[in-house]
A and B are shown apart, each in its own frame.
Chain A
Amino acid sequence: MNPLKLAWTHLRIGVMNELQYRVNFFIQLLQSVIALSTGLIGLSLVFNQVDNLAGWTRPELLVVMGVHLLMGGIVRSAIQPNMERLMNDIRGGTLDFALTKPADAQALVSVREFRFWQLVDAIVGLIVIGYAVSTLHSHISLLQTISFILALIMGAIMLYCTWLMVTTIAFWVIRVDEIANLFEGLYAAGRWPVSVYPDWLRTGLTFLVPVAFAVTIPAEAMTNRLTTESMLYAFGLTLLFMTLARGIWVIGLRSYSGASA
């Protein structure tokens, strides 16, 4: 079965399912607003003291915050719910039901869940980016927009691959909830451009959890900092992550012995 068609069908079911619970929209909206407010307070405290942070001005950091919210919304709506379900399936032995279906198992386990209302975060993020860019007083070219979108897609793919690799560890180690918690903690680092961090932390954030590529590079695209090299670099790394994630998934699957479903 065509993976795209599979994803689309599950997406539709997910959206219809969530549309039954409309109050959740307002709850999610309130939570997004709270997250945004604390973020803005953090920024204003910084700019009470200085007029730039490691060379990033206030509207530029606002772009970073917007991308962080946007990407966080994408992760929590489309990536994290699938990986949590996968983790539970491996632990409970119910992954059998996915494996016996006539579709690529990796594709199937990656599209089964979709939390529609979490996209509110993504939309709030887009609004923040839009506002920040409008205060930058610089013209956004078509090329910038395209590279922004490409960088976002590559960032999302890398975050997905990282999540998949971490979740796949569940084939060997059963308790991995805390790893998910660790991932969330590290993702929080993306609220600031990675150039702020000391070298060892930046390396970790770039290669272990590609926060740098998921958040900072799209933000660089919007603030005229992106170089062709880092774009190519991101592309190469995306391919590497995809290959690695696939490899670990295939190996991990071999040590799965459900048998209890």
Chain B
Amino acid sequence: MKRYIDFYLTLGKISILSQLQYRVANYFYMIGMITEPIIYLVVWSTIANQQGGMAGGYTPGQFAAYYIVWTLVRNMNIVFTPFGWESRIREGTLSMDLMRPIHPIHADIAYFAGWKAVVIVLWLPIAAVLSWIFKPTFDINLQEAIVFFIAIWGAYLIRTMVLTLLGMITFWTTRVSAIFELYFGLELVLSGRLVPMTLMPQWVQTASNYLPFKWTFFFPIEALVGSMTTRELWMGLGMQIFWIVLGASFLNLIWRAAIKQFSAVGG
């Protein structure tokens, strides 16, 4: 156990230091990303105003809060992509990772987690500017803040599991971009990234309860911005743990089959 903790701490620290060197690049990336929620925010505030101040139970101020927190959650959702797995396998760099006495996924989790620390710090000024422009209404209590803080890391782990599983497909075939796009399309609609889930038809909302997407996006945001009961908050964290464990188990199973497919070319 100790060697894992050491490994995570060391790699996390390396990641923080190396990403701090690319502050400007990181900022451009994050600013490129905020246009998406601003578009949603503007459209939905317009609709809320047109309807006399509310749409789907959200006021313009609450939409602003939702989409500002959205920007942090979106950043927390960035993990090693399936496209990355494709190039790892195609170019054979995976061989080197396999030589290490530790499963390669630990390196991905640790590195991206360290990066998140930098991203959170860089995000704070962006959130301040967005709050100044869009005037969000926040009503946060301590419990919500704690659950939110845990939930963004839960979201990070769920998405790591799911996207790594998708990446595993590239052990068998490299023509996968269409599958990935399909996944990202589903995720956009079912996670709460496009709109808060409460704006979706009832059957979509019900379906999303049984899928992993919502627990990586809508749940963390809503934990902070919405008014969930204590039970709902902790049940949500429970669902996150469920998906992390399920994902990790599947990954473990598939990894064993996948790695037998791997024959390094170069590397």
**A46 on the interface (CB 8 Å rule)?**
yes
Establish whether residues B32 and A185, one from each chain, have CB atoms under 8 Å apart when the complex forms: yes
**Is B47 interfacial (CB 8 A cutoff)?**
yes
Given the interface pairs A30-B181, A192-B43, the reply to whether A49 lies near B28 with Cβ below 8 Å is no
A181 touches which one: B32, B175, B200 (CB < 8 A)? Answer: B32
In the complex, are the beta carbons of A34 and B42 less than 8 A apart?
Answer: no
| Interface check B104, CB cutoff 8 A | no
- Tell me the complex Cα distance, A113–B55, Å: 46
Query: With contacts A41-B194, A198-B42 known, is A185 near B36, CB below 8 A?
Result: yes
Contacts of A48 in B (CB 8 A): 199, 201
Contact with A along B72-95 (1 / 0, CB 8 A): 000000000000000000000000
Q: Label chain B's interface by main secondary structure.
A: helix
A53 within 8 Å of B (CB atoms): yes
Which A residues between 50 and 109 are near B, CB-CB below 8 angstroms? 50, 53-54
Q: Provide the bound-state CA to CA distance between A46 and B199, in Å.
A: 9
* A97 to B52 CA separation, bound complex (whole angstroms): 61
- Residues 192-216 of B, flagged 1 when their CB comes within 8 A of A and 0 if not, give 0011000111000000000000000
Q: Does A2 contact B (CB under 8 A)?
A: no
B27 (CB) vs chain A CBs: closest residue: A178
Known pairs A27-B178, A189-B39, A196-B43; A182 contacts B195 (CB<8 A): no
Q: Which of B29, B32, B34, B43 contacts A46 (CB 8 A)?
A: B43
List A contacts of B189 (CB < 8 A): 38, 41
Chain B nearest CB: distance from A23 CB in Å?
7
Chain A residues contacting B36 (CB-CB under 8 Å) are: 185, 188
- Whether A45 contacts B178 in the complex (CB less than 8 A), given A192-B39, A201-B42, comes out as no
Q: Does A18 contact B (CB under 8 A)?
A: no
A31 B178 Cβ-Cβ under 8 A: yes
> Could you tell me the distance between the alpha carbons of A184 and B32 in the complex, rounded to whole angstroms?
8
B140 at interface, CB cutoff 8 A: no
B199 touches which one: A45, A184, A197 (CB < 8 A)?
Answer: A45
Please name the residue on chain B nearest to A42 by beta carbon. B194
Q: Kindly list chain B residues whose C-beta atoms are within 8 Å of the C-beta of A179.
A: 28
Task: Across the interface, name the chain A residue whose C-beta is closest to B26.
Answer: A178
Q: Chain A's interface: helix, strand, loop or mixed, by majority?
A: helix
Closest chain-A Cβ to B205's Cβ sits at a distance in Å of 12
Chain B residues lying within 8 Å of A186, measured Cβ to Cβ, are: 35
Q: Does chain A have a CB within 8 A of B25? A: yes
Q: How far is the CA of A91 from the CA of B33 in the complex (A)?
A: 25
Q: A34-B181, A41-B189, A178-B29 known; A23 and B46 CB under 8 Å?
A: no
B107 CB-CB contact with A under 8 Å: no
Decide yes or no whether A175 CB sits under 8 A from chain B: yes
Whether the pair B47, A53 counts as a contact (CB closer than 8 A) is yes
B229 CB within 8 Å of chain A: no
B185 at the interface (CB under 8 A from A): yes
Residues of A within 8 A of B39 (CB): 188-189, 191-192
User: CB within 8 A of B181: which of A31, A182, A189, A197?
Assistant: A31
Q: Does A37 contact B (CB under 8 A)?
A: yes
**Cβ 8 A contact of B178, one of A30, A189, A196, A197:** A30
Report A-chain residues with C-beta under 8 Å of the C-beta of B200: 45
Given contacts A41-B189, A188-B39, contact A23 B175 (CB under 8 A): yes
Contact of A53 with B185 in the complex, beta carbons under 8 Å: no
Interface centre among A49, A54, A197 (most CB of B within 10 A): A49
Q: How far is the CA of A178 from the CA of B182 in the complex (A)?
A: 25
Asked if A49 meets B194 with Cβ closer than 8 Å, knowing A54-B46, A186-B35, A196-B46, the reply is no
Q: CA A192 – CA B188 in complex, angstroms?
A: 18
B141 within 8 A of partner (CB): no
**Residues in chain A near residue B182, CB distance under 8 A:** 30, 34
- Tell me, yes or no, whether B51 is within 8 Å of chain A by CB: yes
Is A53 a contact of B43 with CB atoms below 8 Å?
A: yes
What would 10 A/B residue contacts be, using CB atoms closer than 8 Å?
A27-B175, A27-B177, A30-B181, A37-B185, A53-B43, A182-B31, A185-B33, A185-B36, A189-B35, A192-B42
In the A-B complex, the 8 residue pairs with the closest CB atoms: A178-B28, A185-B35, A182-B32, A185-B32, A181-B32, A34-B185, A30-B178, A27-B178
Chain B interface (Cβ < 8 Å from any Cβ of A): 25, 28-29, 31-36, 38-39, 42-43, 46-47, 50-51, 55-56, 175, 177-178, 181-182, 185, 188-189, 194-195, 199-201
Which residues of A are in contact with B by a Cβ distance under 8 Å?
Answer: 23, 26-27, 30-31, 34-35, 37-38, 41-42, 45-46, 48-50, 53-54, 175, 178-179, 181-182, 184-186, 188-189, 191-192, 196-198, 201
10 further A-B pairs in the complex, CB-CB below 8 A; given A30-B178, A50-B47, A196-B43: A23-B175, A46-B43, A46-B47, A49-B47, A50-B51, A179-B28, A181-B32, A182-B32, A185-B31, A189-B39
